[in-house]
């Protein structure tokens, strides 16, 4: 990502926490598993836009294709056709650890004492360096798999640990032995030549669900991916659970006790609105966040508009609760993905307009409430307020359906460092001034949590509260070390 503030708007239009990855797996004899995975990844594209990959197995050998870019840019019929078999694992990636280059694309592939493993990971480990030291102890300098090919991710380290597991009798046993040593957030979908596996860390930071096809089974980051391929939702993979899927169907074993701490940011921004997490619809949560925001921060205004698309359900909730009409004030270019083309100087000056453009006839002369889901660095909101003023808004009242983000995430969301988070240095009035709004209101932590209907004790809220479910050492991070606190 570029450091220049405006350039960031163009290259990384969200200017907010980016989720690391989406994972998908299928076990379905007689089905075109590569195509099912392609469409599953298509549904999960919002979770990662830097690279995409699919591995398949016919029971004897694993084939893999992956590359940089969106799912639709990486795959065509010619790539999918050779990916035959009845098992598949797929992945879309946004880099949080390791650079954004081909070697770090997933699924990772590596040899093990029991065959080959292809693995996709959503999350972020906080003890990667310690695990890497263990890999070097076990395997020496002769690294295999993606590590040997120059990958630098925590995912490659997990794959290497499985590869060096010659003191176990099977991949299942190796996974049960290794998973408890991983610290942090990990939602894994992996396979060897004959079996599909899915695992979720004991906190269940990231979602993972099991679905049923007429001819088999599916695991996916979000329920929306099940809907899109016609699978029915069966249940969530439990925190601390390893699921093994083969001819005998799914079999569950535990590698740790569950201590659920689902990421609340999934409800705020990350997950698709048509996904359900822990039985709660994401759209309903966002809508309720907007309603709570209207109760907590009312204002006299003519229209409520959203920053599309992630702010839309909360903006509708704000409008419903306040009685102020909802209007479409901004048009989003739905086709802006991640571009690797450097913008021209003129485009840099246009800022976020590549993605959002105001509807002058809706905005001119109006007192506007604009609802967004979060403020991370504040760059997008500053540019947005300027854009709305240029379009003739009489007043601009910014309402945010999450509290100020004051702390970094070490569990799979690529927020800025603490110093770059606008709310870590400024209070609400100062942020309001910095982005140039007339007024600014954030939902309270209590309001946000209540809107999910999930008990606070089962949620991670660390980026808002600083209360990390797993102890972390910020000083170690500043020194370039893993955040994990030594035990
Ligand atoms: S720190 Fe924030 S973004 Fe990260 S897992 Fe916790 S709630 Fe989610």
Which strand (E) or helix (H) includes residue 123?
Answer: strand 115-125
Ligand 1 mutation target, pool 413, 456, 457, most atoms within 8 A of CB? 413
Q: How far is CA 80 from the centre of its chain?
A: 25
Could you read off the pLDDT tens digit of each residue along the chain, which spans 487 residues? 222 222 222 233 345 555 579 999 999 999 999 999 999 999 999 999 889 999 999 999 999 999 999 999 999 999 999 999 999 999 999 865 555 677 788 999 999 999 999 999 999 999 999 998 888 887 666 666 667 666 668 888 999 999 988 899 999 999 999 999 999 999 999 999 999 999 999 999 999 999 999 999 999 999 999 999 999 999 999 999 999 999 999 999 999 999 999 999 999 999 999 999 999 999 999 999 999 999 999 999 999 999 998 899 999 999 999 999 999 999 988 766 555 555 566 666 566 677 889 999 999 999 999 999 999 989 889 999 999 999 999 999 999 999 999 999 999 987 768 888 999 999 999 999 999 999 999 999 999 999 999 999 999 999 999 999 999 998 898 888 889 987 6
Nearest-atom number in ligand 1 for the CA of 459 is 7
pLDDT at 342: 57
365 C-alpha to center of ligand 1: Å? 39
Q: Which residue has the tokens 């006839």?
A: 361
Which ligand 1 atom lies nearest to the CA of residue 264?
A: 7
Q: How far apart are CA 188 and CA 210, in angstroms?
A: 13
Helix (H/G/I), strand (E/B), else coil: 440: strand
Report the separation in Å between the CA atom of 124 and the middle of ligand 1, taken as the mean of its atom positions.
11
432 is catalytic: no
Distance between CA 273 and CA 308 in Å, rounded? 12
Given this model, what pLDDT does residue 341 score? 57
463 CB near ligand 1 (under 6 Å): yes
Residue-level pLDDT at 133: 86
Ligand 1: nearest atom to the Cα of 408:
1
If DSSP codes are grouped into helix, strand and coil, which group holds residue 216? strand
DSSP string over 429-472: HHHHHHHT-SEEEE--HHHHHHHHTS-GGGEE-HHHH---SS-B
- Supply the pLDDT for residue 4: 27
Helix axes 312-322, 282-296, angle to 10 degrees: 50
Nearest to 305 by CA among 257, 369, 246, 254: 369
Is the Cβ atom of 265 under 6 angstroms away from ligand 1? yes
* Neighbour-count burial of 281, counting CB atoms closer than 10 A to its CB (0-12 exposed, 13-18 middle, 19+ buried): middle
Question: Token pair 């596996």 is at which residue?
Answer: 197
What residues does 246 pair with on adjacent strands?
249
Find where tokens 């960031």 sit.
8
Q: Measured between alpha carbons, how far is 211 from 208 in angstroms, rounded to an integer?
A: 10
Tell whether ligand 1 has an atom less than 6 A from the beta carbon of residue 205.
yes
Q: Which domains does the chain have, with CATH numbers?
A: 5-260 (3.60.20.10), 282-455 (3.40.50.2020)
Q: With contact defined as beta carbons under 8 Å apart, do 123 and 239 qualify? A: no
Ligand 1 lined by 376 (C-beta under 6 Å): no
Residue from 285, 406, 411, 467 whose mutation best tests the ligand 1 pocket (most atoms within 8 A of CB): 411
Contact 65, 78 (CB under 8 A): no
């Amino acid at each position: 990502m570029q450091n220049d503030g405006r350039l960031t708007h163009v290259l990384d239009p969200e200017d907010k926490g980016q989720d690391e990855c989406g994972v998908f797996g299928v076990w379905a004899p007689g089905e075109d598993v590569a195509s099912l995975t392609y469409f599953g990844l298509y549904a999960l594209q919002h979770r990662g836009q830097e690279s995409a990959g699919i591995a398949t197995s016919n029971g004897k050998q694993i084939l893999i294709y992956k590359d940089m870019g969106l799912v639709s840019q990486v795959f065509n019929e010619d790539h999918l056709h050779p990916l035959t078999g009845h098992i598949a694992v797929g992945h879309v990636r946004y880099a949080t650890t390791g650079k954004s280059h081909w070697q770090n694309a997933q699924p990772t592939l590596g040899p093990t004492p029991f065959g080959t493993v292809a693995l996709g990971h959503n999350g972020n480990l906080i003890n990667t360096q310690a695990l890497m030291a263990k890999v070097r102890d076990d395997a020496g300098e002769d690294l295999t798999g993606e590590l040997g090919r120059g990958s630098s991710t925590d995912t490659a380290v997990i794959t290497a640990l499985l590869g060096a597991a010659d003191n176990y009798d099977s991949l299942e046993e190796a996974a049960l032995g290794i998973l408890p040593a991983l610290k942090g957030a990990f939602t894994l979908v992996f396979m060897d030549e004959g079996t599909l596996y899915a695992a979720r860390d004991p906190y269940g930071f990231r979602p993972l669900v099991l679905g049923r096809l007429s001819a088999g089974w599916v695991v996916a980051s979000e329920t929306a991916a099940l809907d899109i391929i016609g699978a029915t939702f069966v249940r969530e993979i439990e925190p601390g659970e390893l699921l093994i899927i083969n001819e005998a169907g799914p079999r569950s074993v535990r590698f740790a006790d569950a201590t659920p701490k689902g990421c609340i940011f999934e409800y705020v921004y990350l997950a698709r609105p048509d996904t359900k997490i822990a039985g709660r619809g994401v759209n309903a949560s966002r809508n309720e966040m907007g309603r709570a925001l209207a109760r907590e921060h009312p204002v006299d205004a003519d229209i409520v508009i959203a920053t599309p698309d992630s702010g839309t359900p909360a903006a509708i909730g704000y409008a419903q609760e306040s009685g102020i009409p909802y209007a479409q004030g901004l048009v989003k270019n739905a086709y802006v993905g991640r571009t690797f083309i450097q913008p021209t100087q003129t485009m840099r000056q246009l800022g976020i307009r590549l993605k959002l453009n105001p509807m002058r006839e809706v905005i001119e002369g109006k007192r506007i409430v604009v609802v967004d889901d979060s403020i991370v660095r504040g760059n997008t909101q500053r540019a947005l307020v300027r854009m709305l003023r240029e379009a003739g808004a009489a007043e601009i009242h910014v309402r945010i359906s999450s509290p100020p983000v004051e702390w970094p995430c070490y569990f799979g969301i690529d927020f800025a460092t603490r110093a770059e988070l606008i709310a870590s240095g400024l209070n609400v009035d100062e942020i309001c001034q910095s982005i140039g709004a007339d007024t600014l209101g954030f939902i309270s932590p209590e309001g946000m949590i209540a809107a999910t209907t999930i008990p606070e004790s089962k949620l991670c809220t660390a980026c808002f509260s600083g209360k990390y479910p797993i102890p972390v050492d910020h000083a170690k991070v500043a020194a370039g070390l893993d955040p994990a606190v030594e035990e």
